[in-house]
Every structure is written in C-alpha cells, then in structure tokens.
Amino acid sequence: MIGPAWIGHGCHLRKGAKVIRSVLFEYTRIGEGMEFLEMIVSPRYCVDRAGETSYVGDDRCKLRWGDARG
C-alpha cells in the first residue's frame, strides 16, 4: 500500500496486490498481483482517475477484484 490510501473494514488484499493512492470500500477483495493506482474500488465496480467505470466480471478489464464476503 502506498498512501495516501484508505482501506475499508473487511477488505482482503491477495498476495502481491498493490493499492496506490486509492480508496477501497468495505469488503473489497483485490486479486493476486493486481495493481490499483488512483482508483475508487467497491466490491462491484471501480472508477479510475479519469472517471471510467469498470464492473466486476467485465472481461475487457484487466483488473480482478470482487466482494470479500463471497
């Protein structure tokens, strides 16, 4: 983790994951080896600095994340 960053309650970062100047909402799971740079991430979607939104399960998105409760 490289700050400033905010990691919500119940989040889970897998091995090698990096969170850089980002916000993780509660119960967000970040996949192994993923790098989230300047993003807002929830269990269902993430928004980058430019305002582009990606949703969990979108095969066009190279990032992998999800709900840590499931």
Local confidence pLDDT in tens for the 70 residues of the chain: 788 999 999 999 999 999 999 999 999 999 999 999 999 999 999 999 999 999 999 999 999 999 999 8
Tell me, what's the pLDDT at 64? 96
Tell me, what's the pLDDT at 11? 98
pTM for this predicted structure: 0.89
Tell me, what's the pLDDT at 2? 83
Cα–Cα distance list, 61 to 8, 18, 47, 54 (Å) = 23, 17, 12, 7
Asked whether 39 and 21 are in contact (CB, 8 A), the reply is no
